[in-house]
Structure 1
Amino acid sequence: MTKRTVITGLGVVAPNGLGTEEYWKAVLAGANGIAELVGFDASRYPSRLAGEVTDFHVEDHLPDRLHAQTDVSTRFALVAADWALKDAGVTKETLPDYSMGVVTSTAQGGFAFTHNEFDKLWSKGPEFVSVYESFAWFYAVNTGQISIRNTMRGPSAALVGEQAGGLDALGHARRTVRRGTELVVSGGVDSALDSWGYTAQLAGGLVSTVDDPDRAYLPFDAKASGHVPGEGGAILIVEDEDSARERLAEHIYGELAGYAATFDPAPGSGRPPGLRRAIELALADAGITAADVDVVFADAAGVPELDRIEAEALRGVFGAGGVPVTAPKALTGRLAGGGGPLDVATALLSIRDGVVPPTAHTTEVPAEYGLDLVLDRPRELPVRTALVLARGRRGFNSAVVVRRAD
Structure 2
Amino acid sequence: MTATATSPAPGTAGDTTRPSAVVTGIGVAAPNGLGTEAWWQATLRGESGIGPVTDYDASRYPSRLVGSITGFDAAEHIPGRLLPQTDRVTRLALVAGAEALADAGADPAELAGQDGYGDYSLGVVTSNATGGFGFTHREIRKLWTEGPQKVSVYESFAWFYAVNTGQLSIRHKLRGPSGVLVSEQAGGLDAIGQSRRTLRQGVKLSLTGGMDSSLDPWGLTSHIASGRLSRGTDPATAYLPFDARAAGHVPGEGGAILVLEDATAARARGARVYGEIAGYAATFSPRPGSGRPPGLERAARLALADSGLTPESVDVVFADAAGTPAADEEEATALRSLFGPYGVPVTAPKTLTGRLYGGGAPLDVAGALLALRDGVVPPTAGIGRPVAGHRLDLVRDTPREGPLRTALVLARGHGGFNAAVVVRAAGAS
Q: Do both share a fold (TM > 0.5)?
A: yes
The 5-angstrom pairing of residues 5-404 of structure 1 reads 5-91=21-107, 92-95=109-112, 96-249=118-271, 251-404=272-425
Q: Secondary structure at the match of 2:120?
A: helix
Matched residue SS, 2:18: coil
Q: Residues of 2 paired with 1:400 and 1:216: CA distance?
A: 28
Give the counterpart letter for 1:62 in structure 2. I
Kindly indicate whether the alpha-carbon contact (under 8 Å) linking 1:36 and 1:49 is maintained by their aligned counterparts in 2: yes
Output the CA distance in 2 between the equivalents of 1:191 and 1:38.
15
CA RMSD, Structure 1 to Structure 2 (Å):
0.6
TM-score, normalised to structure 1's length? 0.99
User: Do the aligned residues in 2 keep the contact of 1:262 with 1:275 (CA within 8 Å)?
Assistant: yes
2: CA distance between counterparts of 1:267 and 1:217? 24
How many angstroms apart in 2 are the aligned matches of 1:256 and 1:285? Answer: 10
Deviations 1:266-306 (A, max 9, x none): 22210010001001000000000000000000000010100
Residues 23-82 of structure 1, C-alpha deviation per residue, up to 9 Å, x if partnerless?
A: 000000000100001121111111110000011100100111100000000000011000
Determine the C-alpha separation between the residues in 2 that align with 1:55 and 1:82.
18
Q: SS of the counterpart of 2:111?
A: coil
Aligned amino acid, residue 214 of structure 1: A
Q: Structure 2 length normalisation: TM-score?
A: 0.94
SS in 1 for 2:81: helix
The answer on whether the counterparts of 1:8 and 1:238 sit within 8 Å (CA) in structure 2 is yes
- For residue 97 of structure 1, report the CA deviation from its aligned partner: 2.2
Q: C-alpha deviations, 1:334-358, integer Å up to 9, x for none?
A: 0000000000000000000000011
CA distance in 2, matches of 1:148, 1:264: 36
* 8 Å CA contact retained: 1:296, 1:326: yes
Following the alignment from structure 2 to structure 1, what is the Cα–Cα distance between the partners of residues 293 and 246? 23
Alpha-carbon offset, residue 362 of structure 1: 0.8
Deviation string for 1:155-199 (max 9, x for gaps)? 001110000000000000011101110000000000001010110
2:10 — aligned with what? Answer: none
CA distance in 2, matches of 1:338, 1:289: 27
Residue 137 (structure 1) shift: 0.4
State the distance in 2 between where 1:39 and 1:259 align: 38
Determine the C-alpha separation between the residues in 1 that align with 2:195 and 2:33. Answer: 26
Q: CA deviation at 1:405?
A: 2.1
Contact 1:224 1:304 in 2 (8 A): yes
- What is the CA–CA distance in structure 2 between the aligned matches of 1:273 and 1:3, rounded to whole Å? 32
Once residues 254 and 397 of structure 2 are traced to their aligned partners in structure 1, the CA distance between those partners, rounded to angstroms, is: 25
- Calculate percent identity across the aligned residue pairs: 64
Give the letter for the 1:164 counterpart. Answer: A
Residue type of the partner of 2:231?
T
Residue-pair matches, total: 405
Assess if the C-alpha contact under 8 Å between 1:158 and 1:169 holds in 2. Answer: yes
Measure the CA separation in 1 of the matches of 2:398 and 2:86.
39
Cα displacement (A) at 1:114: 0.2
- Whether the 8 Å CA contact 1:39–1:193 is kept in 2: the answer is no
Instruction: Using the TM superposition, name which of 95-104 and 391-400 deviates more.
Output: 95-104
Contact persistence 1:107–1:161 (CA under 8 A): yes
1:18 maps to a residue whose letter is: L
Q: Where do 5+ consecutive residues of structure 1 fail to align? A: none
Q: Distance in 2 between matches of 1:194 and 1:373?
A: 33
Deviation digits for residues 180-230 of structure 1 (CA, Å, limit 9, x no counterpart): 100000000000010101100010001000100001000100101110000
For the residues of structure 2 that align with 1:223 and 1:233, how far apart are their CA atoms?
Answer: 26
